[in-house]
Amino acid sequence: MSQGVEVVGVYVEDQDEALEFYVGKLGFRVHTDVRNGDYRWLTVQHPEQPSFQLGLFVPGPPMHDAATAQQLRALVAKGAMPPLVLTVNDCRGTSERWRGRGVEFTQEPVERYGSVDAGFRDPAGNGWKLIQTRG
């Protein structure tokens, strides 16, 4: 029996907008998109990492009351959540391609710590670091 982390979630304001960003601009693919009343379980996967899912979740019921959901949305929009990290073989090339697809970068690619990294945010405000793999 194998065990491990399968889904990590981020809070988004609008799941359809998030889906367009992660699938349409970053090249992820939809793994699960199901509804139960107003609740929607939406996950995407990086095409080269099929065993891991990124959940795109809206703060609210059944996990949060209205006040908590509002606070979470505000924190995400401010960029207060910890950054996520995505590794790529070519940080400069990837950032250029994604910029052409409309991804707005908060930090241009820069060399440091023996690698190259850049920063961007999704439409909800979640921060990402794009880091070139070494080698």
The verdict on residue 2 lying in a domain is: no
Q: Write phi, then psi, for 24 (nearest 5 degrees).
A: -70, -35
Mean pLDDT of the chain: 95
| Confidence at residue 1, expressed as pLDDT on a 0 to 100 scale | 60
The pLDDT score that the predictor gives to residue 68 is: 96
Q: Closest Cα partner for 88 from 30, 32, 27, 44?
A: 27
Host domain of residue 20: 7-132
Mind listing the pLDDT tens digit for each residue in 7-54? 999 999 999 999 999 999 999 999 999 999 989 999 999 999 989 999
Q: Is 44 inside a domain boundary?
A: yes
Residue 1 belongs to a domain: no
Q: How many CA atoms lie within 13 A of 43 on its CB side?
A: 15
What does the alpha-carbon distance between residue 106 and residue 111 come to, in Å, rounded to a whole number? Answer: 15
**CATH, residue 12:** 3.10.180.10
pTM: 0.92
Q: Which residues pair with 32 in a beta bridge?
A: 43
Judge whether 69 and 76 are in contact, CB under 8 Å. no
* Count: domains in the chain: 1
